[in-house]
Amino acid sequence: MGLVAYFDAASTEPLHPQAREALLAAIDVGWADPARLYNQARRAHLLLEQARTEVAEALGARPDEVSFTSSGTQAVHLGVLGTLQGRRRVGRHLVTSAVEHSSVLHAAALHERDGGTAETVGVDLLGRVDPAVFTEAVARPDTALACLQTANHEVGTLQPVAEVAAACRRNGVPLLVDAAQTAGRMPVPAGWSVLTASAHKWGGPPGVGVLAVRKGTRFRSYLPEDERERKRVPGFENVPGIVAAAAALRAMTAEAAQERSRLSALVDKIRQTVPKVVPDVEVIGDPVERAPHIVTFSCLYVDGEALLTELDKAGFAVSSGSSCTASTLRPSHVLEAMGVLTHGNVRVSLPRGASAAEVDRFLAVLPELVRRIRQDAGVT
């Protein structure tokens, strides 16, 4: 890759070396159908269940609560719609925050089209929900489910999951927690009833998601019944991918404390330096209560796509707004909900091993690129 610095870990973390090693080994020995009884199948089943145990331990769950999906998005869809289906007799009201991942919002929209109701709790300028407002929302008698992410995927702000979970527990409402941006990087907050995560966010391979459903949480898949994965997820398990995902999660969790501190210091440097070297810029999200690897800023009078293109030419892989809405011209729903500047938006998310030298080079290159784009647009 030469001098290219990959700064888009919030979209996908590069494959961890231990995941690659585990994947190659599991392709050779874990290819058989784990539901069968012959020798190769028993070996695949053993690998699958060992990986399940490791993932459960890392996420604070029991192995029999954990199912594997084909992606984090599928885990969210199954988690949201399956819990709503299981609690249909209680009510059909869903509560989410305004800054959830698009997979949650799409599931909520489907629920509404099917006759359910959904309430969106707004956020402040830092992108955080007010626990008191969320508590009031879940107190509605027919609330079947609430959803809240651990940390926002665009701006990094941590959500008050523990406080919201306590409010949900008092009101008898299960809480789905989307831990995609923090699993393997930070401890999973307590109090969840349903947990979702995505392996490629922590250095595992793509194509593996995690859906954990606490014992006692009513759940019924909205899809045709399948005997695999506790009847929660249909289809043949990707055993090699799951084994590699578990290996990556185990390795990332072991490194987490040291790497979290190191990356957070680099993010602090970006947060503090960008406003000093680039005029008319807004650094977005909570400066303290945040995911360790994400920083987002917006530059006034700058086209975001043009800035990303110039940064790419200069050897930096970064993203803008939401990766799931980057192909549209509309600003991301997260930035809109926060009420912050959306022009020239850049999200830098540092992967494991990102260096101080790469960050310094980014900070040295950025001001001239912004100045040039503004000049070309007639802004001086």
Same fold, 5-12+256-376 and 17-251: no
pLDDT at position 343: 85
Question: Quick check: 217 and 67 in contact, CB under 8 A?
Answer: no
Q: What is the pLDDT along the chain (380 residues), one digit of tens a residue?
A: 457 999 999 999 999 999 999 999 999 999 999 999 999 999 999 999 999 999 999 999 999 999 999 999 999 999 999 999 999 999 999 999 999 999 999 999 999 999 999 999 999 999 999 999 999 999 999 999 999 999 999 999 999 999 999 999 999 999 999 999 999 999 999 999 999 999 999 999 999 999 999 999 999 998 988 888 888 999 999 999 999 999 999 999 999 999 999 999 999 999 999 999 999 999 999 999 999 999 999 999 999 999 999 999 999 999 986 444 444 556 789 999 999 998 899 999 999 999 999 999 999 999 999 999 999 988 86
pLDDT at position 17: 98
What CATH number belongs to 5-12+256-376? 3.90.1150.10
What is d(CA 105, CA 99) in angstroms, rounded to the nearest whole number?
9
How does DSSP assign 154-212, residue by residue? TT-BBP-HHHHHHHHHHTT--EEEE-TTTTTTSPPPS--SEEEEEGGGTT--TT-EEEE
pLDDT at position 342: 87
Main-chain dihedrals φ then ψ at residue 81, nearest 5 degrees: -70, -35
Residues forming the active site = 324
Question: Quick check: 202 and 249 in contact, CB under 8 A?
Answer: yes
Tell me the CATH number of domain 17-251, given options 1.10.238.10, 2.60.260.20, 3.40.640.10, 3.50.50.60: 3.40.640.10
The ranges assigned to domains in the chain are 5-12+256-376, 17-251
What is d(CA 199, CA 303) in angstroms, rounded to the nearest whole number?
32
CA distances from 294 to 67, 185, 229, 319, 344 (A): 28, 12, 33, 11, 17
